[in-house]
Structure 1
Amino acid sequence: MKKMLFIFLAAFTLAVNAQNTIPKSAVDIAPLLIGEKIPDIILKSSENADVNISDLLKKKKTVLIFYRGGWCPYCNLHLQSLAEAEKQIIDLGYQIIAISPDSPENLKITEEKDKVKYTLLSDSKGELIKAAGIAYQVPENYKTVINVHSNGINTSLLPVPSVFVLNTEADILFEYIAPDFKQRISAELLVSVLKNLK
């Protein structure tokens, strides 16, 4: 009986600790590093279809963007600047994929509003965001907006806005991660990085 009680308490403690592993603030994250791989996780397209991220990454070198959501004006400006630089990025042999906790329906709104032709994917459950090490606990003042934009799936986390440049094996070649959500890599600097990675 004591052994069963110990096992139960150990399992309970592990479950509680697992829920508390998301850092409280954006400055406390521990992102994947250059040389590590982006894990293989199923996300949703704007058409609500399952998308295996590794299948997409195998097709072409990738600029992988994580953004907070279509409700964030800084994210919208960043997505628009990438859309303007998309031809240059494609000419350098890359595709652009942008991921947020937004629901597939809200991705469609962002595509139209920001004139985005590249791929937007939904990670409402935060699985890839957590696996990339860029998730942090939602500040109280954002809980309602992320709940609405994820259709009630996400109430607990946000990604630190991040850019990962990947090869076709999903290895990270370059990353730009800024805990201050107002700071984003410029399209010009990103293009320059891509040129230097060739």
Structure 2
Amino acid sequence: MKNLIYIISLFLGLFANAQTNLPKLATEISPLLIGEKIPSITLQSIDGKNINFDDITKSKKTILAIYRGGWCPYCNLHLSALGEVEEKLIEMGYQIVAISPDSPESLRETITKDKLNYTLLSDSKGDFIKALGISYGVPNGLKKKIKTAIHGVKNDFLPVPSLFIIDEKSEIEFEYISPDYKTRISNELLLAVAAVLKK
């Protein structure tokens, strides 16, 4: 009996350790694939209210952008670029939702600074980003900068910047995932893919 308890304890310990170990590099992630369903996980609004992911996406197709944070200039450029095509995407029947590890307070700053109209949500615990398979450990050179920028939220992870198009069942129809955080999907390509997938 003692041996059985030991084996179970060992297995649970290994399983827990596997769940907390993040890839060290952005190139080592294992993201969900096209056709897979994004799990419904609780996120926070800019007001700090809990929001279930399925409740956001069940009414219409969604352009889902995952970004590193409002402290990242390349992310801010991409968020602004999405704002430039928001009306066209809405006309096609889409909504835009952007998610980052930022605190709700940081999200409010980003919305004001970048003059955004679409929804920003906080995944400060990383449950959603890790479930997508796009999280990796924060490089040492960024730890101080992130700690200063995110209003007390302690993060040991970053998401690889990604964009997904998902249907009303939260199934992935398209994804653009770039381990090079300086490279993002162009508005031209996004609009072309969205037009094909709108039906």
Query: Within 2, Cα distance between the matches of 1:4 and 1:39?
Result: 32
SS at match of 2:44: strand
Amino acid at match of 2:26: A
Residues 96-123 of structure 1 show CA distances to partners (whole Å, capped at 9, x for unaligned) of 0000000000000000111110000000
Following TM superposition, by how much is the alpha carbon of 1:60 offset from its aligned partner in structure 2, in angstroms? 0.9
Query: Within 2, Cα distance between the matches of 1:156 and 1:115?
Result: 28
Q: Count residues in correspondence.
A: 197
SS at match of 1:120: strand
2:139 aligns with: 139
Kindly report which structure 2 residues correspond to 1:176-187, keeping only aligned pairs within 5 A, or say none. Answer: 176-187=176-187
Q: Check 1:148–1:42 CA distance in 2 against 1; reply closer, same or farther (3 A cut).
A: farther
1:27 aligns with: 27
Following TM superposition, by how much is the alpha carbon of 1:3 offset from its aligned partner in structure 2, in angstroms? 4.2
Following TM superposition, by how much is the alpha carbon of 1:2 offset from its aligned partner in structure 2, in angstroms? 4.4
Query: Within 2, Cα distance between the matches of 1:101 and 1:60?
Result: 24
SS at match of 2:56: helix
SS at match of 1:125: coil
Moved more, 74-83 or 186-195: 186-195
Q: Is the 8 A contact 2:124 2:155 kept in 1?
A: no
Matched, 1:128 2:150: no
2:114 aligns with: 114
Q: Check 1:56–1:122 CA distance in 2 against 1; reply closer, same or farther (3 A cut).
A: same
Query: Within 2, Cα distance between the matches of 1:186 and 1:8?
Result: 49
Amino acid at match of 1:162: S
Following TM superposition, by how much is the alpha carbon of 1:8 offset from its aligned partner in structure 2, in angstroms? 3.2
Identity among equivalent positions (%) equals 53
Give the TM-score of the pair, scaled to structure 2: 0.94
Query: Within 2, Cα distance between the matches of 1:42 and 1:3?
Result: 36
Query: Within 2, Cα distance between the matches of 1:32 and 1:44?
Result: 22
Query: Within 2, Cα distance between the matches of 1:102 and 1:11?
Result: 31
SS at match of 1:59: coil
Question: Unpaired runs of 5+ in structure 1?
Answer: none
Q: Is the 8 A contact 1:29 1:136 kept in 2?
A: yes
1:172 aligns with: 172
Query: Within 2, Cα distance between the matches of 1:54 and 1:145?
Result: 32
Amino acid at match of 2:114: D
Q: Is the 8 A contact 2:125 2:155 kept in 1?
A: no
Residues 66-122 of structure 1 show CA distances to partners (whole Å, capped at 9, x for unaligned) of 000000000000000100111011011000000000000000000011111000000
Q: List structure 1 segments (4+ residues) > 4 angstroms apart after TM superposition.
A: none
Query: Within 2, Cα distance between the matches of 1:171 and 1:154?
Result: 30
Question: Unpaired runs of 5+ in structure 2?
Answer: none
Following TM superposition, by how much is the alpha carbon of 1:133 offset from its aligned partner in structure 2, in angstroms? 0.6
Structural RMSD (CA): 1.4
1:85 aligns with: 85
Amino acid at match of 2:99: I
Residues 96-154 of structure 1 show CA distances to partners (whole Å, capped at 9, x for unaligned) of 00000000000000001111100000000000100001001110112223334444333
